[in-house]
């Protein structure tokens, strides 16, 4: 099997130094994600006949150029007067690890699992002196027989998976010599629009209650690597269509399908995971969605903008697919501008020092619908072979990430990455609903050779 040799670790800096003395503080949504980190892996085929190491050099140079636009990424963490984190934009740079792997990318992908994949994306936990700790890590692994794996890991305090993908997109654009499509901008979250302030305004308590519950009930942190594992399922266009059709109650065949691919797949997985856990009802689930559009922010907004909401499973019939999906749709509707504004205001008032692990209590189902990970093109004309997302650490019940599939899987195609305890994952793959839809298993469970 392909072995990875680490060549070196270095610091990559931007080509133009930033103005000294600039500082960047974080929003309340950022602070909640303090205990998490994100890892993304991109697999690309190699371009042209290049000597070993040349691809790494060209990627490193384009990264240097691109970092000029991301002063927040190259800065370092310091504490402000209130004791919260903030970034000092001192141009310290990001860490880059360079590695080589035997074999080709295609061979690797045939038998990859979570443990192996995580070796392609380097991450370092915060060190004793955070002032010297890099918040972003990039790993470039060149496969000897062709292909490149680009791994990005970052501290969730600074970015969510959406803007991390935009970061990679900007890097890819720079590598190909193109201009950035959505240049990043670093702003605090927008304040409430004044026209909406009415005198008899009832705050939406749903979101607030959910956050309150999560913060209070967050259990202490445990290392999840040994207990959980991740699989990747790829649902092509017609599979998702079939899934959405299953949601539609048979009594009204002519009504247009109200549910979206995310709702359908989230509902499907909710039911399957609940079955796998052996529960009578449905497991507690929270949805996590990108709110940039709802808050009126540009796609380039760099920071955390994903909000969680609980899906209420009380009073649902056991494992009824269409009902489950309907409830999901309702929860999604609750995440509107008003509700989020109320949530942000509440969080700002209740600014506590200890920031919990947000994805701790429930099954988290996150939608990364607003980005197209497969449109990030490092090579020039070729989509990446595969993209993987991890939001770590996952403890407790589990995590589901749903994002768009490559174009050959159609516009409705989706990739689902499920993280659950090891034994439950095996049962999930054998679940009848899932087998009925028969998605492609891109990354399965590690096979233990006895």
Which residues have C-beta within 8 Å of that of residue 190, sequence separation ≥ 6?
Answer: 295, 296, 297
- Of 1 and 127, which has the nearer Cβ to another protein? 127
CB of 225 to another protein, least distance (A): 24
Name the nearest CA neighbour of 295 among 24, 29, 26, 18: 29
- Of 132 and 221, which has the nearer Cβ to another protein? 132
Count the alpha carbons within 13 Å of 387 in the hemisphere toward its beta carbon. 29
Which of 117-127 are b and which e, b meaning 16 or more Cβ less than 10 Å from the residue's Cβ? Answer: bbbbbbbeeee
- Of 89 and 363, which has the nearer Cβ to another protein? 89
CB of 52 to another protein, least distance (A): 16
Cβ burial, residue 270 (10 Å; 0-12/13-18/19+) = buried
CB of 88 to another protein, least distance (A): 9
- Of 90 and 367, which has the nearer Cβ to another protein? 90
CB of 17 to another protein, least distance (A): 7
Per DSSP, 185 falls in state: B
- Of 95 and 114, which has the nearer Cβ to another protein? 95
CB of 332 to another protein, least distance (A): 44
Name the nearest CA neighbour of 411 among 241, 295, 264: 241
CB of 86 to another protein, least distance (A): 15
- Of 8 and 195, which has the nearer Cβ to another protein? 8
| DSSP result, 295-363 | TT--TTB-S--EEEEEEP-TTPPTT-HHHHHHHHHHHHHH-SHHHHHHHHHHHHHT--S----TTSSSE
CB of 90 to another protein, least distance (A): 5
**Angle at the Cα of 186 from the Cα atoms of 188 and 34, rounded to 5 degrees:** 70
CA distance 288 to 306: 6
* φ, ψ at 192 (rounded to 5°): -65, 140
- Of 174 and 228, which has the nearer Cβ to another protein? 174
Residue 196 in contact with residue 342, Cβ under 8 Å?
Answer: no
Name the nearest CA neighbour of 400 among 422, 381, 415, 382: 415
- Of 13 and 429, which has the nearer Cβ to another protein? 13
CB of 42 to another protein, least distance (A): 23
Name the nearest CA neighbour of 403 among 29, 59, 41, 44: 41
CB of 15 to another protein, least distance (A): 5
Name the nearest CA neighbour of 321 among 332, 329, 333: 329
Chain contacts with another protein (rule: CB under 8 A) = 8-13, 15-17, 20, 61, 64, 76, 90-93, 95, 129, 131-132
Q: What is the CA radius of gyration of the chain?
A: 22
- Of 17 and 258, which has the nearer Cβ to another protein? 17
- Parallel, antiparallel or unpaired: strands 440-443 and 285-290: unpaired
């Amino acid at each position: 099997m392909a072995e990875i040799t680490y060549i070196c670790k270095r610091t990559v800096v931007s080509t133009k130094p930033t103005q000294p003395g600039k500082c960047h503080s974080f929003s309340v949504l950022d602070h909640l994600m303090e205990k998490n980190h994100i890892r993304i892996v991109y697999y690309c085929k190699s371009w042209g006949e290049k000597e070993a190491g040349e691809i790494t050099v060209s990627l490193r140079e384009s990264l240097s150029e691109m970092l000029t636009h991301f002063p927040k990424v190259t800065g370092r963490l310091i504490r402000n007067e209130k004791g919260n984190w903030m970034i000092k934009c001192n141009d310290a740079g990001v860490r880059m690890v360079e590695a080589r792997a035997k074999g080709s990318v295609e061979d690797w992908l045939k038998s990859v699992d979570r443990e192996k994949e995580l070796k392609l994306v380097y991450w370092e936990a915060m060190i004793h002196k955070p002032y010297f700790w890099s918040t972003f890590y990039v790993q470039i692994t060149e496969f000897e027989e062709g292909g490149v794996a680009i791994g990005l890991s970052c501290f969730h305090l600074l970015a969510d998976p959406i803007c991390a993908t935009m970061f990679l997109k900007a890097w890819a654009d720079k590598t190909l010599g193109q201009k950035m499509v959505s240049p990043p901008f670093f702003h605090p979250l927008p304040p409430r629009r004044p026209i909406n302030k009415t005198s008899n305004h009832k705050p939406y308590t749903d979101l607030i209650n959910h956050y309150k519950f999560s913060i209070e009930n967050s259990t202490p942190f445990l290392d999840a690597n040994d207990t959980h594992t991740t699989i990747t399922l790829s649902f092509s266009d017609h599979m998702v269509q079939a899934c959405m059709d299953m949601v539609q109650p048979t009594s009204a065949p002519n009504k247009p399908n109200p549910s979206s691919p995310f709702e359908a797949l989230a509902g499907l997985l909710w039911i399957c995971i609940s079955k796998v856990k052996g529960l009578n009802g449905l497991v507690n689930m929270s949805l996590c969605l990108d709110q940039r559009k709802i808050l009126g922010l540009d796609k380039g907004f760099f920071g955390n903008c994903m909000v969680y909401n609980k899906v209420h499973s009380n009073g649902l019939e056991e494992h009824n697919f269409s009902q489950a999906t309907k409830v999901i749709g309702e929860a999604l509707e609750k995440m509107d501008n008003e509700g989020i504004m109320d949530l942000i205001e509440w969080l700002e008032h209740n600014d506590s020092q200890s920031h919990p692990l947000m994805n701790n209590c429930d099954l988290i189902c996150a939608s990364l619908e607003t980005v197209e990970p497969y449109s990030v093109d490092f090579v020039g004309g070729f989509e990446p072979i595969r993209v993987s997302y991890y939001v770590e650490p996952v403890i407790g019940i589990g995590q589901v990430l749903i994002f768009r599939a490559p174009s050959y899987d159609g516009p409705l195609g989706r990739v689902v990455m499920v993280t659950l305890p090891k034994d439950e994952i095996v049962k999930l793959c054998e679940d009848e609903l899932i087998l009925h839809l028969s998605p492609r298993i891109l990354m399965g469970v590690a096979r233990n050779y006895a």
